Chain A
Amino acid sequence: MTFQDNTPEQPLLLRASKTTKFYGDRIGCQDVSFEVYPGEVLAIVGESGSGKSTLLNCLSTRLAPTTGAVEYRGRDGILRDLYQMSEAQRRVLMRTDWGYVHQHPSDGLRMTVSAGANVGERLMAVGERHYGNIRSNASDWLERVEIATDRIDDDPRAFSGGMRQRLQIARNLVTAPRLVFMDEPTGGLDVSVQARLLDLLRSLVSDLGLAVIIVTHDLAVARLLSHRTLVMRHGRVIEHGLTDQVLDDPQESYTQLLVSSILQP
């Protein structure tokens, strides 16, 4: 790392050290090391097949890396290796301290239960047993993600793609997580809906002081949301730095190609 823009007194939240995942002989991602600090948005960009999603899965305990470590600092202030923790601890982490926003909302939502129950599920999972509180909490969150509160009893199936994605975000944020993983959250949405979602995400992230690791192939998303950017190619990180620096003054030829291939209207 050639820069130090983080306030030194803030301890790091997540650290990947030489994280490597092989699928048989093929490389998923190799020797990826970086740190994420509280309140920081990190974008992972690259073309399809560059290992972005593999890396995200390794970080979010969905896929065990072949070698290397991923450490996370819990609310108790202790940095722990995620893959040394018990599965029960990892699952508690997944539904309290973390969020995971899938590209397709149907992967992250329960499509057969109402919007209110979707938002309330995590609350019930951590022991909330008061229906009135769960409901008012759910309705608050729907409002925050700009879904009309009279839609609280509708199935997500009755929602548009943009609404589903916002519902998925509300569902993840209801337990006040500290770190949210996002896998192409704006993929498959039309441009105006994308813009609205990005705007919403940006304000939520800054209001809540969330740390976010966002995987995207869309450099505009990285530009709008993230503080720092990792550029991946063939499973390796080829460039790493402040987003503006990476996108305005790309050093690697591949990054230069990526930046110059953005269509200018």
Chain B
Amino acid sequence: MSTPATSFTDHYNFAYLDEQTKRMIRRAILKGIAIPGYQVPFAAREMPMPYGWGTGGVQVTAAVIGHSDTLKMIDQGSDDTTNAVALRNFFVQTTGVNTTTHTKGASLIQTRHRIPEEPLSEDQVLVYQVPIPEPLRFLEPRETETRKMHALEEYGLMHVKLYEDIARFGHIATTYAYPVLVNERYVMDPSPIPKFDNPKMHRMEALQLFGAGREKRIYAIPPHTDVVSLDFEDHPFTPQEFDQPCAICGAEHVYLDEVILDDQGSRMFVCSDSDYCEERRTEGHTGHLGTNPLDAPSNGTAKDNASSKEACK
């Protein structure tokens, strides 16, 4: 892909969608911002990627992106997983905007399943990819009924789910897509981010936009809006905690991914936010497994494998 952007834009409009579609999506976004947490229906288009790959987020991003934007695309916190790479290339080809992996340097961040560890600022926009926008869906399958419940603020059912968690597991066992109350009015599904990230949404300085392509819904949280995780008085909301720091950069109080190292049960915990981890390493932080691969003596992979097998025995 030397210079595909020019040839692509000969045949496609800027950011793939036509101007009327972007206008329609922007209207939905504006309505969503005006009513924080309310799911605005919109006429989602067929996108050149399958449902579940972020068609909702892509349409929202396409509607708000401009020539001067710097785009960051992450999937599970990482800049280099399939989904992130595919969608980043999509926007590079259809818009030609600059991309970055640095959270601080991005004006527009599209994410799947995480909020960056670095606090976001007022001049940034965070776009979430949402699979199922309706928090009540699995408790009340009828869409007519859930809409009525939102309209009349009947949210007792959401607590039934939390009650069930406590009755079965002794604590609220919901760990992702943890329901929140936005601006003291609408109960909202924050998309499948870990509940670790829920407190970051509360009064976030950046604008948060949510797009669900298959379900054809857009919702939004304007900057500085109250976002409260639902809980019981005697079982308050508690985010996940990790009893060890990141194995590579030594960061604490961040969200960690478990990485299985072999079939002998050894594992390591590393930052799920790859950019955050890298920045800490360039600042000189190292975890207990965090040696620089460039520093290690290059003895060839075959021998490395053999020695690691021996080490396991």
Inter-chain contact B152/A88, CB cutoff 8 Å: yes
Query: How distant is the Cα of A127 from the Cα of B158 in the complex, in angstroms?
Result: 12
Q: Residue A124 contacts which of B148, B159, B168, B233 (CB distance < 8 angstroms)?
A: B159
Residue of B nearest to A86 (CB): B152
Q: Quick check: is B157 within 8 A (CB to CB) of the other chain?
A: yes
Q: Quick check: is A212 within 8 A (CB to CB) of the other chain?
A: no
Distance (whole angstroms) from the CB of B249 to the closest CB of chain A: 38
Most chain A CB within 10 A, of B160, B232, B233, is at B160
Inter-chain contact B167/A153, CB cutoff 8 Å: yes
Q: Quick check: is B235 within 8 A (CB to CB) of the other chain?
A: yes
**Which residues 142-168 of B have a CB within 8 angstroms of A?**
148, 152, 154, 156-157, 159-160, 163-164, 166-168
Q: Quick check: is B234 within 8 A (CB to CB) of the other chain?
A: yes
Inter-chain contact B160/A121, CB cutoff 8 Å: yes
Query: How distant is the Cα of A132 from the Cα of B152 in the complex, in angstroms?
Result: 27
Inter-chain contact B166/A131, CB cutoff 8 Å: yes
Q: Which residues of A contact B154 (CB under 8 A)?
A: 91, 125
Inter-chain contact A121/B233, CB cutoff 8 Å: no
Inter-chain contact A117/B234, CB cutoff 8 Å: no
12 CB contacts below 8 A, A to B, read A87-B148, A91-B152, A113-B163, A116-B163, A121-B156, A122-B156, A124-B160, A124-B163, A125-B157, A131-B234, A131-B235, A152-B167
Inter-chain contact B159/A129, CB cutoff 8 Å: yes
Q: Residue B156 contacts which of A114, A126, A152 (CB distance < 8 angstroms)?
A: A126
Query: How distant is the Cα of A129 from the Cα of B156 in the complex, in angstroms?
Result: 9
Query: How distant is the Cα of A114 from the Cα of B164 in the complex, in angstroms?
Result: 7
Interface size class on chain B is 10 to 19
Distance (whole angstroms) from the CB of B148 to the closest CB of chain A: 8
Q: Residue A130 contacts which of B152, B160, B167, B232 (CB distance < 8 angstroms)?
A: B232
> 17 more A-B contacts (CB under 8 A) besides A110-B160, A129-B159, A131-B235?
A113-B163, A114-B164, A116-B163, A117-B160, A117-B163, A121-B156, A124-B157, A127-B156, A129-B233, A130-B232, A130-B234, A131-B166, A131-B232, A131-B234, A134-B163, A135-B167, A153-B167
Query: How distant is the Cα of A49 from the Cα of B159 in the complex, in angstroms?
Result: 40
Q: Give the A-binding residues of B (Cβ under 8 A).
A: 139, 148, 152, 154, 156-157, 159-160, 163-164, 166-168, 232-235
Distance (whole angstroms) from the CB of B160 to the closest CB of chain A: 5
Q: Which residues of A contact B163 (CB under 8 A)?
A: 113, 116-117, 120, 124, 131, 134
Q: Which residues of A contact B159 (CB under 8 A)?
A: 124, 129
Q: Which residues of B contact A95 (CB under 8 A)?
A: 156
Q: Which residues of B contact A117 (CB under 8 A)?
A: 160, 163-164, 167
Query: How distant is the Cα of A24 from the Cα of B76 in the complex, in angstroms?
Result: 57
Distance (whole angstroms) from the CB of A149 to the closest CB of chain B: 13
Q: Which 9 A-B pairs have the closest CB atoms?
A: A125-B156, A124-B156, A131-B232, A124-B159, A130-B233, A88-B152, A117-B163, A117-B160, A153-B167
Q: Which residues of A contact B160 (CB under 8 A)?
A: 110, 113, 117, 120-121, 124
Residue of A nearest to B233 (CB): A130
Residue of A nearest to B232 (CB): A131
Query: How distant is the Cα of A110 from the Cα of B164 in the complex, in angstroms?
Result: 12
Residue of A nearest to B159 (CB): A124
Q: Residue A113 contacts which of B164, B232, B235 (CB distance < 8 angstroms)?
A: B164
Most chain A CB within 10 A, of B152, B156, B168, B232, is at B156
Query: How distant is the Cα of A135 from the Cα of B152 in the complex, in angstroms?
Result: 26
Distance (whole angstroms) from the CB of B154 to the closest CB of chain A: 7
Inter-chain contact A114/B167, CB cutoff 8 Å: yes
Q: Which residues of A contact B139 (CB under 8 A)?
A: 110
Q: Which residues of B contact A134 (CB under 8 A)?
A: 163
Query: How distant is the Cα of A117 from the Cα of B168 in the complex, in angstroms?
Result: 11
Q: Which residues of B contact A122 (CB under 8 A)?
A: 156
